[in-house]
Amino acid sequence: MKVVLAFSGGLDTSFCVPYLKEEPGAELITVTVNTGGASREEMEVIAAQSAAVGADGHVEVDAREAVYEGFVATLIRGNVLRGGVYPLSVAAERTQQAMEVARMARELGADAVAHGSTGAGNDQVRFDVVFRVLLDLPILTPVRDLGFSREQSIAYLEERGLPVPGGAERYSINRGLWGTTLGGGWTHDPWTAPPEDAWGGDGAPPEAGSREVVISWERGLPTALDGEPLAGPALVERLGGLLETYGIGRGIHLGETVLGIKGRIGFVAGAPLVLIAAHKELEKLVLTRWQSFWKDHLAAFWGDRLHEGQAFDPVMKDIAAMIASSQRRVTGETRVRLEAGRFAVTGVRSPHGLMDPSVARYGEENALWDGTEAAAFAKIASIPSLLAARHGGDDSP
């Protein structure tokens, strides 16, 4: 029996390797899908962990461009922040990882596919949905089926003399192109703040002082940083590295999970937060009011469905097409000021800007109408509220 396992190198997937080799006696191939956030050295550590816990083979897939084109581009264009806070750092990447693992399972002639998700999180749904849509194979989920705690998984590995990934006792960390998510005991109590070492990094204080960066945009996507053209994934990684030195992008999200319970995570996602804020400011300059209104409403729905593992619902392509259509004139530049722990979009310009001083200067002067026409407009604008007030009694403000 050949089993292909989605492998991150963390505690849960490290446990799955010896368990699946012992219980069903499987030939076990691990597949790690690189969706960004990991250095070459870190990918080599993951491969070494696969071998150390007994895998019969290991495959690495580079899906950074695929996750950017397939999901991140729409997250940027849609200004998608779940709960107005969290840039969906995991949902897109898990979906792409599951798609790549399914592809490798077909290519390798697997008899079953496996993942290390627990029964209490969102990832199990994301993996299961993709595997069921793309494969007709059994799905093996040892951690979920056994209901093992982290302590039990650690003990299982230690009893067999197998290496336990570093930090497994305290934290669960997921790094990717679109940010890093942080789990651990502190996330289960909404009153508990994260310990400082939960944020990762090298412990160095944020950069003092400030600087500005200029992001160039074409059709709603970033194309250059400070005048240097960069492909999407490279730009996200470059910007993210810069923002990390300023301590920008740390946050906590508490909200609804796929399972209907409340969940809480920490995240470090400087590049997503800055890019979405800058993109939204550019849209304010070039889109009409109702373009922005309906696009953002539909994009929020698109993000919710992606978060909940429903990337294959046909409505997702329909909404993504509408979002892409809305971006035809979202081209220009945004200027962002960086300071320790914070940022601000300080400037925006576009050849398609709708802020035209030849028409009017807000609060000062106008060219397309005169004072009597403005007074008539204001008079007519008052009519619905006036009529309601006459019949509303105490309902008026």
Cα separation of 313 and 57, whole Å?
Answer: 34
Instruction: Report if residue 345 sits inside a domain.
Output: yes
* pLDDT tens digits for range 15-70: 999 999 998 889 999 999 999 988 899 999 999 999 999 999 999 999 999 999 99
Q: What is the pLDDT of residue 319?
A: 98
If asked whether residues 227 and 187 sit together in one domain, one would say yes
Instruction: Report if residue 296 sits inside a domain.
Output: no
Which DSSP string do the residues of 348-389 spell out, in sequence order? Answer: EE-TT-S--TTTEETTTEESS--HHHHHHHHHHHTHHHHHHH
Q: What is the pLDDT of residue 170?
A: 64
If one compares 168 and 345, the residue with the highest pLDDT of the two is 345
If one compares 277 and 118, the residue with the highest pLDDT of the two is 277
Q: Where in the sequence is the domain holding 10, given as residue range(s)?
A: 2-170
Cα separation of 102 and 109, whole Å?
Answer: 11
Instruction: Report if residue 86 sits inside a domain.
Output: yes
Statement: residue 140 has pLDDT above 90 = yes
Which of the listed residues 137, 170, 203 is the one where a domain comes to its end? 170
If asked whether residues 144 and 180 sit together in one domain, one would say no
**pLDDT interval class at 106 (50, 70, 90):** very high
* Residue labelled with tokens 């009011």: 289
If asked whether residues 253 and 114 sit together in one domain, one would say no
If asked whether residues 156 and 205 sit together in one domain, one would say no
Statement: residue 397 has pLDDT above 60 = no
Instruction: Report if residue 250 sits inside a domain.
Output: yes
If asked whether residues 227 and 367 sit together in one domain, one would say no
89: domain CATH number is 3.40.50.620
Q: What is the pLDDT of residue 169?
A: 59
If asked whether residues 24 and 136 sit together in one domain, one would say yes
* pLDDT tens digits for range 141-190: 999 999 988 889 999 999 999 999 876 556 677 889 999 888 878 888 99
Which of the listed residues 121, 154, 170 is the one where a domain comes to its end? 170
The mean pLDDT value for 220-243 works out to 97
Q: What is the pLDDT of residue 395?
A: 58
Highest mean pLDDT among 199-208, 245-254, 318-327: 318-327
Mean of per-residue pLDDT scores for the chain: 92
Instruction: Report if residue 366 sits inside a domain.
Output: yes
**pLDDT interval class at 363 (50, 70, 90):** low
251: domain CATH number is 3.90.1260.10
Q: What is the pLDDT of residue 360?
A: 63
Q: What is the pLDDT of residue 366?
A: 74
The CA distances from residue 79 to 143, 219, 305, 355, 366, in Å, are: 35, 14, 15, 21, 32
Instruction: Report if residue 267 sits inside a domain.
Output: yes
* H-run or E-run covering 183: strand 179-184
Residue type for position 351: P
Instruction: Report if residue 47 sits inside a domain.
Output: yes
Would you tell me how many other CB atoms lie within 10 Å of the CB of residue 389?
A: 13
Which of the listed residues 170, 186, 220 is the one where a domain comes to its end? 170
In degrees and rounded to multiples of 5, residue 181 shows phi and psi of -110, 150
Q: What is the pLDDT of residue 171?
A: 65
If one compares 202 and 207, the residue with the highest pLDDT of the two is 207
The distance from CA 22 to its chain's CA centroid, rounded to whole angstroms, is: 36
Q: What is the pLDDT of residue 201?
A: 64
Total domains present in the chain: 3
- Looking at the chain, the whole-number percentage of residues with pLDDT higher than 90 is 75
The rounded radius of gyration (Å) of the Cα atoms in the chain is 25
Contact present, 99 and 243 (Cβ < 8 Å): no
* pLDDT tens digits for range 167-178: 655 667 788 999
Q: What is the pLDDT of residue 280?
A: 98
Going by the DSSP 8-state scheme, the letter that residue 395 receives in this structure is G
Q: What is the pLDDT of residue 16?
A: 97
* H-run or E-run covering 268: strand 262-268
If asked whether residues 187 and 236 sit together in one domain, one would say yes
Tokens at 288, concatenated = 């009409």
Using DSSP, state whether 339 is helix, strand or coil. Answer: strand
If asked whether residues 60 and 145 sit together in one domain, one would say yes
Instruction: Report if residue 321 sits inside a domain.
Output: no
Using DSSP, state whether 221 is helix, strand or coil. Answer: strand
If asked whether residues 187 and 93 sit together in one domain, one would say no
If asked whether residues 81 and 56 sit together in one domain, one would say yes
Cα separation of 302 and 279, whole Å?
Answer: 18
Q: What is the pLDDT of residue 371?
A: 84
If asked whether residues 160 and 189 sit together in one domain, one would say no
Q: What is the pLDDT of residue 184?
A: 77
Question: Which residues are CB-contacts of 76 (< 8 A; sequence separation ≥ 6)?
Answer: 220, 221, 222, 272, 275, 276, 279
Cα separation of 182 and 257, whole Å?
Answer: 15
- Looking at the chain, the whole-number percentage of residues with pLDDT higher than 70 is 95
If asked whether residues 191 and 334 sit together in one domain, one would say yes
